[in-house]
């Protein structure tokens, strides 16, 4: 059963979604602006997503195969796996991005004379 009902609901849900996602208004601000409860705002947002009025899309840059990465994590009990899509340049950029997310400001990474490792470090910088 859809969360939205009545002929005006999709329009209201779309308006609420635009205020929330495009204008970055809070649920409380939207409720005050439209004269409805913040709980109704939350229901309208949930309904807009569930009914396909709003779609959220993530683009991985560099491109990744998250499905394969998840399967490998589950199969081998890994905490993290990243699978690049594309040529070796994609793999290098992905490795740099993953390392950048794992290494903290106080961590030190040593790189030997390997050109692949050097490229990974450059891509993460």
Task: Tell whether 87 and 46 lie within a shared domain.
Answer: no
| 97 located within any domain | yes
| 4 located within any domain | no
DSSP codes, the chain: --S--STTHHHHHHHHHIIIIIS---HHHHHHHHTS-HHHHHHHHHHHHHTTSS------SS-B-HHHHHHHHHHHT-S----B-SSHHHHHHHHHHHHHHH--TT------S-HHHHHHHHHH-
Task: Tell whether 42 and 86 lie within a shared domain.
Answer: no
Domain that holds residue 43: 9-50
Task: Tell whether 43 and 71 lie within a shared domain.
Answer: no
Task: Tell whether 42 and 73 lie within a shared domain.
Answer: no
pLDDT at 122 over 60: yes
Number of domains, the chain: 2
pLDDT at 2 over 70: no
| 55 located within any domain | no
- Give the tokens for residue 75: 């199969």
Please state whether 25 falls in left (phi above 0), alpha (psi between -120 and 50) or beta: beta
- Where residue 46 falls among pLDDT bands split at 50, 70, 90? very high
Task: Tell whether 43 and 70 lie within a shared domain.
Answer: no
**What are the pLDDT digits (tens) for 13-33?**
999 999 999 999 999 999 999
Do 69 and 63 touch, CB atoms closer than 8 A? no
Q: Rounded to two decimals, what is the model's pTM? A: 0.47
Task: Tell whether 30 and 77 lie within a shared domain.
Answer: no
**What are the pLDDT digits (tens) for 51-87?**
999 988 777 667 888 899 999 999 999 888 888 887 7
């Amino acid at each position: 059963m859809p969360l939205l009902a009545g002929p005006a609901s999709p329009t209201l849900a779309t308006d609420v979604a635009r205020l929330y996602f495009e204008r970055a208004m809070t649920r409380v601000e939207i409720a005050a602006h439209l004269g409805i409860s913040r709980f109704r705002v939350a229901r309208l947002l949930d309904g807009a997503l569930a009914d396909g009025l709003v779609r959220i899309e993530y683009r991985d840059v560099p491109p990744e195969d998250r499905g394969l990465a998840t399967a490998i994590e589950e199969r081998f009990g890994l905490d993290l796996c990243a699978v690049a899509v594309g040529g070796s340049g994609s793999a290098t950029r992905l490795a740099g991005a993953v390392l950048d997310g794992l290494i903290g400001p106080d961590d030190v990474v040593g790189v030997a004379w390997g050109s692949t490792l050097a490229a990974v470090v450059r891509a993460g910088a």
